[in-house]
Structure 1
Amino acid sequence: MNLNQLHYFVKLAETEHYTRAAEELNITQPSLSHAISTLEGELGTKLFEKRGRNVVLTRYGSFFREYVEQTLKTLDTGVRKVRALTGQTEGVIELAYIYTLGSEFVPQLVSDFIHTYEELNVKFRFTVGNTSEVIQGLKDEKYDIGFCSMAEKESGIQFTPAGTENLVVVVPKGHPLAYSESVDLEQAAAYPQIFYTPNSGLRPVVDRMFERLKIKPDIAYEIEEDGSMAGLVARNFGIAVMPEIPVLKMLDVEVLRIRNQHEKRYVYMARNKEQYEPPLVRRFEEYVKRRGL
């Protein structure tokens, strides 16, 4: 049984005439007769019976027609939706990114892309998570593109540098370090720290900063989301080494540069190497690459 046979069956059921159905299908009458005969053979029943010069559906043919029309309608809807999702000039891009990129980086990037290509009818669907969640979503083909930290031992994921964020020390207002514009990491290590959770892409970066100085920090709390980390700092739960994100300007914290270290958080565009890339997704990816760091 194939798709053509089902289309032929529906057309013959509509016209109730072999010659007319063949003409509308743009095939020969013998081809139509053979297709219907083969379909009936596969089903093991007669679908049509003669009535004068015409044919009409049998009881079993009427029953079968209901399901065939429903199936073809569903298939047609699927074809139209896939074409809309993966077209050259219109479609949907599934985008995932880490929390810290949600206030400025991603909204600005997407807005610039849309305004640069006003002729495109493109929609974005956004998902936020930590680096491990973004990468797992890419591996599961839930997302087209992700923006996150680099993850080691992920050979199936392609990482392309897309931006940077400065790492700073954030302390609450009134903290002993709050009156300096910059601090050494050794000074910061004297106070309880709020660290990223081990599954955060930034945790290895901050760990290396302290390990380089042979310092074991006093980790008071662990959290994965940047905004929540800043909120804990503002309420005196500890101090933190974290990216200089826009929300810091709205909280009761002081942002201090780190002396003698110039660590940055690199933001990467990530994609599954094995996943099919629709034209619009490829266009967005190339746009991000052209922007560079």
Structure 2
Amino acid sequence: MELQQMRYVLAVAETSSFTRAAERCLVVQSALSHQIARLERELGAKLFERTSRRVRLTPAGAAFLPAARQCLDAAERAAAEVAAAVGEIRGRLAVGLIPTVAAVDIPGALRDFHQRYPHVRISLRVGGSDELVEQVKQGLIEVAFLGLPTTARPHGVAAHELARDRLVAVVAPDHPLATESTVSLRRLSTEVFVDLPAKTAGRAQSDQAFAAAGLSRDVAFEVTTADFMARLVKEGLGIALLPSAYVPQLTGLTTIEVTDAPARVEYVVWSHAGRTPAATAFLALLDIPAALSG
């Protein structure tokens, strides 16, 4: 069993195509198919069901895939550790973040990291805080930037608090509230809201604040990105609550301070199981204290 065979299996599983997998792996399709067939003979089981329309994993293939991915990750980690031992940072840096992260200039930090460590392959994923924590636990990403209510902390990962922030109301410039300098949750509870999906960490901070005040509200528009929230607010379809440090990135909206506003905490998290050399270097670039990044 060879690492290259595992790479081929992973590529076919992710693309659902031998043709696209061969293109990704920069080999001719016949060579890729031959190596997978050879691996299947060695394992004594078919890994893929092939029809004229599609390719999909067999139960044996689905069982093989997680272990194959772990082997490839371990091999990549071993190569990166050897490089680090002789003073080179290589391997990968997979970063995750929520769309409204404001405590760190992520594009700028990644630019600086790339300039300093050009041999590291950088990737970026955007998602919800809970989803990103799970991806860190599973080793799919090395570092993630989260936003959580003050009542919550990341579980199962190492974490460092970056900043605390209060939410502010954002409304269309012609909204009746646009002339107000401050507003209360009670007054806001009479409005229609645009917000993130229910049960997400980004939604929880607002839901908890209204519940604690004994108030309910109408969230008529549930979307997954702050940019789209802003577009709906601009059209006068509702109002939103967003972190005060994030809203300066938005244009065409009016910001109002909320007297009893909910708050959130931004964290950077990484795996308890150990960091790759690239992740360690990235945390150092962000000046995360060494004692906290162990």
TM-score, normalised relative to structure 1: 0.62
Cα distance in 2 for partners of 1:219, 1:271 equals 33
Match of 1:168 in 2: 168
Match of 1:141 in 2: 139
Match of 1:96 in 2: 96
Match of 1:180 in 2: 180
CA contact (8 A) 2:80 2:277 kept: no
Inter-CA distance 232–87: structure 2 relative to 1 (3 Å threshold): farther
Cα distance in 2 for partners of 1:198, 1:106 equals 26
Inter-CA distance 106–120: structure 2 relative to 1 (3 Å threshold): same
Match of 1:272 in 2: 271
Cα distance in 2 for partners of 1:150, 1:159 equals 12
* 2:222 is the counterpart of 1:222: yes
CA contact (8 A) 1:100 1:227 kept: no
3-state SS of the aligned residue for 2:178?
Answer: coil
Amino acid in the other structure paired with 2:224? E
Amino acid in the other structure paired with 1:273? H
CA contact (8 A) 1:150 1:159 kept: no
* 2:124 is the counterpart of 1:126: yes
* Range with greater deviation from structure 2 (96-105 or 138-147): 96-105
CA contact (8 A) 1:195 1:223 kept: yes
Specify every segment of 5 or more residues in structure 1 that has no aligned partner in the other structure, as ranges.
1-77
* 2:65 is the counterpart of 1:83: no
Structure number with bigger Rg: 1
3-state SS of the aligned residue for 1:126?
Answer: strand
Cα deviation digits, residues 104-147 of structure 1 (max 9, x gap): 731233345567xx477544211111112212211221111111
Pairwise mapping of residues 1-293 of structure 1 onto structure 2 (< 5 A)? 82-84=78-80, 87-88=83-84, 89-91=88-90, 92-101=92-101, 105-111=105-111, 118=116, 121-150=119-148, 155-244=155-244, 250-261=250-261, 263-274=262-273, 276-288=274-286, 289-290=288-289
Cα distance in 2 for partners of 1:270, 1:249 equals 24
Inter-CA distance 191–227: structure 2 relative to 1 (3 Å threshold): same
Inter-CA distance 254–155: structure 2 relative to 1 (3 Å threshold): closer
Cα distance in 1 for partners of 2:252, 2:145 equals 28
Cα distance in 2 for partners of 1:250, 1:204 equals 22
Q: How far off is 1:268 after superposition?
A: 0.8
Inter-CA distance 167–190: structure 2 relative to 1 (3 Å threshold): same
CA contact (8 A) 1:193 1:240 kept: yes
* Range with greater deviation from structure 2 (238-247 or 180-189): 238-247
3-state SS of the aligned residue for 2:179?
Answer: coil
Cα distance in 1 for partners of 2:215, 2:243 equals 20
Note the aligned Cα RMSD (angstroms). 3.3
